[in-house]
Amino acid sequence: MKAIKAGVDSTRAYEINEAIALLKQFATAKFVESVDVAVNLGIDPRKSDQNVRGATVLPHGTGREVRVAVFTQGANADAAKAAGADLVGMEDLAEQIKKGEMNFDVVIASPDAMRVVGQLGQVLGPRGLMPNPKVGTVTPNVAEAVKNAKSGQIRYRNDKTVSFTPQLVR
């Protein structure tokens, strides 16, 4: 810890490439470490027109195997299976979830399936799994959404408040 404090100037703002080089230089864990990034956006989160929310596909993935459940039927179900979805269904998949069988990381739904998925809001919502058109998990093109989820798509959004003052961060 002393070596890290000696090697990093906490009063200086680092460029992204410099920060990544420092992270790699001072990495000591014997497992794959994760890095959280906080960005000051200068927005008012109480104003809905200033909220930032979306999803992006990382160029080299997240390094984790992602299990995807898809709510759809017909030709979309076949396309989802071909794209690599782990679970595909409608009412049958909803029944599994109601029983507590939740062995997936991402839920994707076609717009016509939202009548079924909407009934699962109390189960999926608190776990952050509820499909949302703003992040691309409610889409008519479920095959592309499955490919994105499997290849390392991450979601991002702004927080409601800043919980630390500048003095607490130092």
Evaluate whether the domain defined by 62-154 bears CATH number 3.30.750.24: no
Whose structure tokens read 């890095």?
35
pLDDT at 163 (0 to 100): 57
Distances (CA, A) of 56 to 63, 86, 87: 15, 21, 23
8 Å CB contact between 153 and 55: yes
pLDDT at 104 (0 to 100): 92
Q: What gap in Å lies between CA 139 and CA 118, rounded to an integer?
A: 15
Could you tell me how far CA 128 lies from the centroid of its own chain? Answer: 9
8 Å CB contact between 100 and 117: no
3-class SS of residue 54: strand
Residues in the chain: 170
Domain ranges of the chain: 2-53+158-169, 62-154
Residue 54's beta-bridge partner residues? 156
Q: What gap in Å lies between CA 41 and CA 54, rounded to an integer?
A: 15
Of the candidates 170, 158, 164, the one whose C-alpha atom is nearest the C-alpha of residue 43 is: 158
Per-residue pLDDT of the chain (170 residues; tens, 9 = 90+): 566 767 787 788 888 888 888 888 888 878 877 777 777 777 887 787 888 877 788 888 777 888 999 999 999 999 999 999 999 999 999 999 998 888 899 999 999 999 999 999 899 988 989 998 888 899 999 999 999 999 888 877 787 665 555 555 44
